[in-house]
Amino acid sequence: MSHASTIRGQEILNNPALNKETAFTMTERQSLGLEGLLPPTVENIDRQLERVQTQLAAKPNDLERYIYLMSLAARNKTLFYHTLMSDPARFVPIVYDPTVADACLTFGHIYRGSAGMYLTRDMKGRFKKILRNWPVKDVRFICVSTGGRILGLGDIGANGMGIPIGKLQLYTACAGVPPEALLPVLLDIGTTNAALRADPLYLGLRELPPDEAEVDLISDAFIEAATDVFPGVCIHFEDWKGTDAMRLLARYRDKVLCYNDDIQGTAAIAVAGLTTALQIKNETFADQRVLFLGAGSAGIGIASMIVSAMVEAGLGEAEARERIVLIDVNGLIETSRTDLNEWQKPFAHEAKPTKDLLEVVRTFKPTILIGVSTIGGAFTEEVVREMAKLNERPVIFPLSNPTNKAECTAEQAYTWTKGKALYAAGVQFPDFEYQGKSYHPGQANNFYIFPAIGLAVYATRPARITDDMFITAAAATADQVGPSAREHGMLFPLQANILETEVTTATRVAEHIFDSGQATVERPENIRAWIEGLLYKPVYKEL
């Protein structure tokens, strides 16, 4: 922050990285030309937090709280992160899922200012020059989306910018990655959403997306530019259209430092929750039969990581795949289908074609039911009761979000299984009491995983990100759920301790990176202490 000495007065107050608002000392006010520009009272950051909380309490809903917090981030980044990190269980659902879904749907209408970069397909030949307009030169992570498949909302184009912004804010709020190292990018290739293209307040290109070949060329140009302008940067792909997501991860994963959170992060958090559930059941992955409703990038990603877990538990890869069945919008993934993509084909089995989920439950007899379909209520009472008939402790993971897309609610799952379900959803449902016992539904949210991966990568600077890192993160997350928490059906650590949880997970991942020879920095004697020394702390610095 040495450039603080070169700017004075209103310029400092307009710089969110330097602005302390009422926390500037009298000495700072005199030396920096701030006298008269602020009220006379000098406050500490906790007094400022009180004011933030008071103003948030007066807002009528979480979307208005989201708007307020984004405005706070734009004027005082330190106070923004101090707020988030003071109570992550309260604030993460406001700045991210589920509130971010409403924010994205209305993004053009609630827009207050840019918090990242917008690259359009017609800038393809100038990406390097344009990326150099970003004021920070040592960018370590770029979260990039086309807005092609946002949460369960589908293609919302430039409105999807709320996701890269929110994801990177969680890197800092949940894992202490310094915010100046983070750059949200919306790669605007157009949108299939005709209603948005006709909306006068829509901020993106009013064009249909190009074909896959052109998407690949645009992506190649972006990857080349980003890695040239920001050497060593990690590219975090987020919410691309499913086929683009799978294809481009395969295209780049062995060439540049990158990962796709929808595929690898979602898989890791699902495996983490399943690991805890199986520990409660005293079973292994080798004992399971897994049925998916949904076979897009998230479903295939989770299924592939479960195959790895089953192989680690002693099964052969072919045998593991036989224990996993998927259903998509066109029915069961089976060998007579001619419309399967290359990632679905390995999971196609000899079976009678059907679109009936209940029929597949009865014939396949799954121990685990996972929903990534974005079809709210798809896990009907009949389906859930059948799972309970087949299993003493059925594992039911309706992972679609936002809330109205969940395949079943926690209350439904616990009621229909008479409290036997081991349950986690993609959103946080409230605690539920059934026959005198209190249940705390799990939230299989990627924020347990990707910020910890980010922190480990930030610290160790590997050349590539591997699936093994995500599997390590999943195991580390599961290991942090204690016996008393499991008694209440909890499958994930408490969100209130998210920074401690993520540092523990990041330490395990960093150890794996060092042990496997992938780190490009010298191994410290005490990895955890070293990582803790790198953490961002939301405290004001003397100017």
What is the secondary structure of 424-449 as a DSSP string? EESS-PPPEEETTEEE--EE--GGGT
Closest-CA residue to 32 (of 15, 49, 44, 46): 15
Residues linked to residue 240 through DSSP beta bridges, in sequence order: none
- Is 238 annotated to bind ligand? yes
Is 445 marked as a binding-site residue?
A: yes
Q: Is 149 annotated as belonging to a binding site?
A: yes
| Inter-residue contact 450 to 466 (CB < 8 Å) | no
Q: Partners of 423 in the beta sheet? A: 396
DSSP state, residue 188: E
Q: List all residues 6 or more positions away from 489 whose beta carbon is below 8 Å from its beta carbon.
A: 421, 422, 423, 439, 440, 441, 442
Any binding-site annotation on 44? no
- Classify residue 391 as exposed, middle or buried by CB count within 10 Å of its CB (0-12, 13-18, 19+): buried
CA angle 239, 468, 474 (to 5 degrees): 70
In contact, 249 and 301? CB cutoff 8 Å: no
167, 241, 405, 420: the active-site residue: 167
Instruction: Please state, in angstroms and rounded to a whole number, the distance separating the CA atoms of residues 19 and 429.
Output: 37
* Distant-in-sequence, close-in-space partners of 451: CB < 8 Å, separation ≥ 6: 170, 171, 173, 174, 175, 177, 502
401 is in an annotated binding site: yes
Residue 436 to residues 32, 42, 411, 439, 519: CA-CA distances in angstroms?
A: 61, 51, 14, 10, 51
Query: Which three-class secondary structure state does DSSP give residue 279?
Result: helix
Annotated active-site residue 352? The verdict is no
Whether 159 has a binding-site annotation, put simply, is no
- Is 458 considered catalytic here? no
Please state, in angstroms and rounded to a whole number, the distance separating the CA atoms of residues 101 and 120: 23
Token readout for 512 is 């794996």
Which candidate in 66, 96, 259, 423 is catalytic? 96
How many CB atoms sit inside 10 A of residue 524's CB?
14
Give the residue numbers of the binding site for a divalent metal cation. Answer: 238-239, 262
Give the residue numbers of the binding site. Answer: 149, 238-239, 262, 401, 445
Give the residue numbers of the binding site for (S)-malate. Answer: 149, 401, 445
Residues belonging to the active site: 96, 167
